[in-house]
Amino acid sequence: MEKMISIARGMRDVLPEEQKYWAYLRSVTQTRLQSFGFQPIDTPIVEPKDLYLRGAGKESDIVQKELFAVSRTGSRGEDEPQDESNTRDLVLRPEGTAGFVRAYIEHGMRTWSQPVKLYSFVQNFRYDRPQKGRYRQHTQINVEVFGDETPLTDAMTLLALWQIIQDLQLDDQLVIELNSIGDKACRGQIRTALKAYYEPLLPHLCKQCQERFHSNPLRLLDCKQAECQQYREAAPATIDSLCTECRAHFMLVLEYLDEAGVPYDLNHYLVRGLDYYTRTTFEIRHRDDSHRQAVLGGGGRYDDLVEALGGQPTPAFGFGLGMERVVEKLIDRGIEVKPLMSTEILVIQLGDRAKKKAIPLLVSLSKKGLAASMALGKESLKSQLRSADKMGAKLALIVGEREAIDGTIIVRNMFDGTQDTVAFDDVEMVIERKLAELAQD
């Protein structure tokens, strides 16, 4: 026997039994987002590496350690046209925001009616240390609003997110944590305050924090190492160093959220792992922190990113909700989810003549939009009835040799085992009546 090839580390298969949760999550999300005026968009999985160097920031983990490079095999040689130049350094997308920004700039969305509100289901790739809830390929519901700097956009996008969480019946378990980390005008003050506090503590901090002290002191606040966390409590809160405009912006976000009935907790340490954020930052977490992957989603405002990626200055706000983590939560909580459309009618055929009768019947039922199929590879009545049971079929249509000759068919109710013999020509009418009766029961 040949050696089996197993799945790449950190990747996972989503098997049929889990698919109904994904379909449910996608459907709930699309309905809610579209009702809030968001439009769907799809951007490529492969993008130029520079997009993330300038997007997420050189200091971020996803750029420093986690990018999956895409190597081209072969080259088009000397005659390589100029427009191939940006296919040289490609990566698999580690997050969705930078791709949305590129598309916003490249398609001139600035000329569309503002704000431009977009969403997508994006598959992201991060070369991370895999564990439950943390994979090297993961999926996010990615939502972005471009072109409005007012706090109303922050609050209304958070309202859409909270309503999705309510639709999923997870609102009793999750909480939105909020912070503001200022903008260009006050980030310097925030850094200075943090550096003043942390400087005497430097020898006690982990190596990464010692480096980040110089490169990005805000990230000292979200270090997970115990030796660093003990100092966090007394660290200066970012909101205490905000400039007047950022403070006013944040206060209005909170007031609008109160008006909208969206609950939140303030978290002074919430700085996020990506460098593009300005002003509002937030995460969706489990109330009970003992969960290993406690964060289900996160986002915030990023008013400088469009300009940093070559566009006109354009304010923006958005979030990413981790779908694997949400699906896991739905399953853990035993949330009832409708099964995907499954076989309602199984056509059972006994013998060659019956098979030939069964095929046009199946074609005709399918054309009517009924979920009908045959038990392939099974010959006996018993084994085919067992298949009908396993598939959850409501009706079995049995065509034996005798029925094939008589021009009749047996319609069996799979719930109570009752059977009727009906003329072949009447079968569709009988099926519709029986399905309608069963739907009422």
Binding-site size for ligand HAM (CB under 6 A) equals: 25
Q: Which two tokens stand for residue 302?
A: 């990023």
Burial (CB count <10 Å: 0-12, 13-18, 19+), residue 230: exposed
With respect to ligand HAM, which residue has the nearer C-beta, 198 or 319? Answer: 319
With respect to ligand HAM, which residue has the nearer C-beta, 78 or 289? Answer: 289
For the bound state, the minimum distance from the C-beta of residue 25 to ligand HAM, rounded and expressed in Å, comes to 13
3-state helix, strand, coil in the chain (%, to 5): 45, 20, 35
Residue 235 identity: A
For the bound state, the minimum distance from the C-beta of residue 67 to ligand HAM, rounded and expressed in Å, comes to 13
For the bound state, the minimum distance from the C-beta of residue 136 to ligand HAM, rounded and expressed in Å, comes to 7
Give the burial string for 96-119 (b: 16+ CB within 10 Å, else e). bbbbbbbbbbeeebeeeeebbbbb
Inter-CA distances, 148 with 129, 273, 320, 321, Å: 37, 24, 19, 21
Residue 440 identity: Q
Dist CA 57 CA 226 (whole Å):
26
With respect to ligand HAM, which residue has the nearer C-beta, 14 or 423? Answer: 14
Dist CA 284 CA 326 (whole Å):
11
For the bound state, the minimum distance from the C-beta of residue 263 to ligand HAM, rounded and expressed in Å, comes to 18
For the bound state, the minimum distance from the C-beta of residue 320 to ligand HAM, rounded and expressed in Å, comes to 3
With respect to ligand HAM, which residue has the nearer C-beta, 25 or 397? Answer: 25
**Residue of 47, 95, 303, 344 that binds ligand HAM (CB under 6 A):** 95
For the bound state, the minimum distance from the C-beta of residue 142 to ligand HAM, rounded and expressed in Å, comes to 6
For the bound state, the minimum distance from the C-beta of residue 273 to ligand HAM, rounded and expressed in Å, comes to 6
Residue 314 identity: T
Dist CA 284 CA 288 (whole Å):
12
> Considering only 93-101, 209-217, 246-254, 257-265, which stretch makes contact with ligand HAM by CB under 6 A?
93-101
For the bound state, the minimum distance from the C-beta of residue 242 to ligand HAM, rounded and expressed in Å, comes to 20
Inter-CA distances, 318 with 77, 361, 374, Å: 42, 51, 47
With respect to ligand HAM, which residue has the nearer C-beta, 96 or 217? Answer: 96
> Considering only 90-98, 163-171, 177-185, 342-350, which stretch makes contact with ligand HAM by CB under 6 A?
90-98
With respect to ligand HAM, which residue has the nearer C-beta, 142 or 349? Answer: 142
Contacts of 429 (CB under 8 A, 6+ apart): none
For the bound state, the minimum distance from the C-beta of residue 357 to ligand HAM, rounded and expressed in Å, comes to 51
Inter-CA distances, 31 with 162, 317, 323, 410, Å: 14, 20, 16, 41
Dist CA 218 CA 119 (whole Å):
29
Radius of gyration (C-alpha) of the chain in whole angstroms: 28
- Restricted to residues 45-64, the positions that interact with ligand HAM (CB under 6 A) are none
Phi-psi region of 133 (alpha: psi -120 to 50; beta: other; left: phi over 0): left
- Restricted to residues 222-281, the positions that interact with ligand HAM (CB under 6 A) are 274
> Considering only 91-99, 201-209, 245-253, 255-263, which stretch makes contact with ligand HAM by CB under 6 A?
91-99
Site map (CB under 6 A) of ligand HAM, residues 130-159, x = contact: ---xxx--x-x-x-x---------------
Give the β-pairing of 295-301 and 316-322: antiparallel
Which residue is closest to ligand HAM by CB? 322
For the bound state, the minimum distance from the C-beta of residue 324 to ligand HAM, rounded and expressed in Å, comes to 5
With respect to ligand HAM, which residue has the nearer C-beta, 182 or 297? Answer: 297
Instruction: Decide if 276 contacts 302 (C-beta within 8 A).
Output: yes
With respect to ligand HAM, which residue has the nearer C-beta, 96 or 315? Answer: 96
- Restricted to residues 101-130, the positions that interact with ligand HAM (CB under 6 A) are 126, 128
Dist CA 319 CA 317 (whole Å):
7
- Restricted to residues 295-324, the positions that interact with ligand HAM (CB under 6 A) are 295-300, 318-320, 322, 324
With respect to ligand HAM, which residue has the nearer C-beta, 41 or 431? Answer: 41
Residues near ligand HAM, by CB under 6 A:
95-97, 126, 128, 133-135, 138, 140, 142, 144, 274, 295-300, 318-320, 322, 324-325
